[in-house]
Copies of this chain bind each other. A is one copy, B any other.
Amino acid sequence: MSVTAAQGFTAAGIAAGIKDNGNPDLALVVNDGPRHAAAGVFTSNRVKAAPVLWSEQVLKGGEVSAVVLNSGGANACTGPKGFQDTHATAERAAQVLPGHSAGEIAVASTGLIGVLLPMDKLLPGIEKAAAELSAYGGEKAAIAIKTTDTVHKTAVAARDGWTVGGMAKGAGMLAPGLATMLVVLTTDADVDGPGLDEALRDATRVTFDRVDSDGCMSTNDTVLLLASGASGITPAHGEFADAVRTVCDDLARQLIGDAEGASKDIRIEVVNAASEDDAVEVGRSIARNNLLKCAIHGEDPNWGRVLSAIGTTRAAFEPDRLNVAINGVWVCRNGSVGEDRELVDMRYREVRITADLAAGSESAVIWANDLTADYVHENSAYSS
C-alpha cells in the first residue's frame, strides 16, 4: 500500500528513460490535502546532492504538497547546473499539478554521483507520471525508486481511523546519518509540522540512523513525512510517534535485509553501557569492522574481532569486564575465553551479537550486514 495507504495521497511510478535499461525510474507522490504539513531529515554528509539542498529549502517553508523522486542518477557533485536541474524539476511538477507551487515540491534523486541527469527525459516523465497519479499508485512509486534494490520496500501502520504508510529504497552506502536511502512517509492523521518533525526525528534516530550496512554515508539521504489530515483525526503524540517509528523500523529492517551482496543481517545490541552514546559508538564500531563482517560471512564466531573493535572506541569500559555473546552463546566472558564457540549456530541469515560493557545500564541496537565477495563484485562494477 506504501505511500497511498493513507487517505489524501496519490502516487505514480513510471519509466522516463533515465535508466538505460528501461526500468521504472520516476516517482511522483502528491498530497491532496486538506493539509500539506511536512517534516524531513536529510544526510549529515557535508557533500550534499542538489535535490537535498533544494528539499531542505522547501521544508523551511513548512509545507510539501508533492515529491518528485528519480532513480538512475543522484544529481550529486554536479555543480550549479545540477541545482538548476532540480529547480526545473520542481517547476515542471508545479506546471502539471494544478494548484501547486514549485516552492512546495520536494525533489529526491538516487543513483551514480557526479553525472548530470538527462533532463530531456526527466521533464516529460513528470508530465507522464502526473497523468497516471492514482490512490493505488503507491506500489508503482516504490518500484520506480529502486536502484540496486532487489525488491521494493513498503510498510504500513494502520491505526484507529488513521494510517501511516511509506516506501523506501536503499541497498548500498548504508550508514548512519542516515543510511543511503530515499524514504517517503505519508499519513492522513491531522498533525502539524512541529508534531511531524518531532515524531520523525525520534523515529529516525533509533531506526534509519542505526542501520550501518557498509559504513559509507550518502550524499542523497532523504526521509520525508507528509500529512494530509484527510482522516480528520489528531492522534495523541505518543500514539502517532509510535506508528511512525513502527513504519521506519519496518523499512529500516527491509533495507538491511536487501543490502548489496549481503548474506547475513547482523543485529548488534550493546548493553550495560554508561550512556546511550557509548552504546551507539560501540555498536557502530563493531558494525564497521571489516574483519568481523568477513568472519560473520564465514559463519565464524570470531569474538576477538568484536573485542578489537570495542577497543577502538572512547566508551567507558574495562577490557577485563567485557562479555560478548553470539547468537546467545557467551563466547567471551570477562574479556577472555567464555563458552565453547562450537556451540554457536550461525546457519541462518540473522546473527545476533550482544556486547556487554558492564559499565552502566544503557543500551542500543545497530543493524549491519556481513561483507561478501558479492558486495565487492557489485560495487566494483556499479558505474560501468
Q: Give A contacts to B, CB under 8 Å.
A: 45-48, 74, 76-79, 81-82, 112-116, 172-173, 214-219, 288-291, 294-295, 297-298, 300, 302-305, 307-313, 317, 319-320, 322, 332, 334-337, 371-373, 375-384
Kindly list chain B residues whose C-beta atoms are within 8 Å of the C-beta of A337. Answer: 77-79, 114-116
Distance to closest chain B CB from A321 (angstroms): 11
CB distance from A359 to the nearest CB of B (A): 12
Given A114-B303, A373-B376, are A216 and B336 neighbors across the interface (CB < 8 Å)? no
From the candidates B78, B294, B320, name the one contacting A380 in the complex (CB within 8 A): B294
A193 to B216, CA, bound (A): 43
A79 to B312 CA separation, bound complex (whole angstroms): 19
Q: By the criterion CB–CB under 8 Å, are A291 and B173 in contact?
A: yes
- Chain B proximity of A120: nearest CB distance (Å): 18
Give A1 Cβ to nearest chain B Cβ, in Å: 32
Q: Is the CB of B307 within 8 A of A47?
A: yes
* Contact yes or no, B78 A308, CB < 8 A: no
Cβ A47 vs Cβ B319 within 8 A: yes
Q: Main SS of chain A's interface residues?
A: loop
A79 with B320: CB separation less than 8 A: yes
In the assembled complex, the Cα of A359 lies from the Cα of B67 at a distance in Å of 36
With a cutoff of 8 Å between Cβ atoms, the chain B residues found around residue A304 in the complex are 74, 76-77, 112-114, 219
Nearest chain-B residue to A338 (Cβ)?
Answer: B114
Q: Given contacts A214-B291, A373-B373, A384-B300, is CB(A308)–CB(B379) below 8 Å?
A: no
Q: Is the CB of B375 within 8 A of A294?
A: yes
Residues of the B chain whose Cβ atoms lie less than 8 Å from the Cβ of A76: 304, 307-308
Which chain B positions have C-beta within 8 A of A336?
Answer: 77-79, 81-82, 114
In the complex the two chains form, is A294's CB within 8 Å of B379's CB? Answer: yes
Residues of B within 8 A of A112 (CB): 304
The minimal Cβ–Cβ distance linking A19 to chain B, given in whole angstroms, is 17
A312 to B294, CA, bound (A): 24
Closest to A285 in B: B217
User: Do the beta carbons of A47 and B308 come within 8 Å of each other?
Assistant: yes
Q: Which residue of B lies closest to A82 (CB)?
A: B336
- Chain B residue, CB-CB nearest to A322: B47
Contact at A215–B290, with CB atoms within 8 Å? yes
**Closest chain B residue, CB of each to CB of A219:** B308
New A-B pairs, 14, CB < 8 Å, besides A77-B303, A114-B332: A45-B308, A47-B310, A47-B322, A48-B311, A74-B304, A76-B304, A76-B308, A79-B320, A79-B337, A82-B336, A217-B308, A219-B307, A298-B380, A371-B376
> Are B379 and A290 within 8 A (Cβ)?
yes
Report Cα–Cα, A116/B74, bound state, in Å: 51
Q: How far is the CA of A216 from the CA of B308 in the complex (A)?
A: 8
List 10 tightest A-B contacts by C-beta distance, closest first: A113-B304, A298-B380, A47-B311, A79-B336, A294-B379, A373-B373, A45-B311, A114-B304, A46-B311, A47-B319
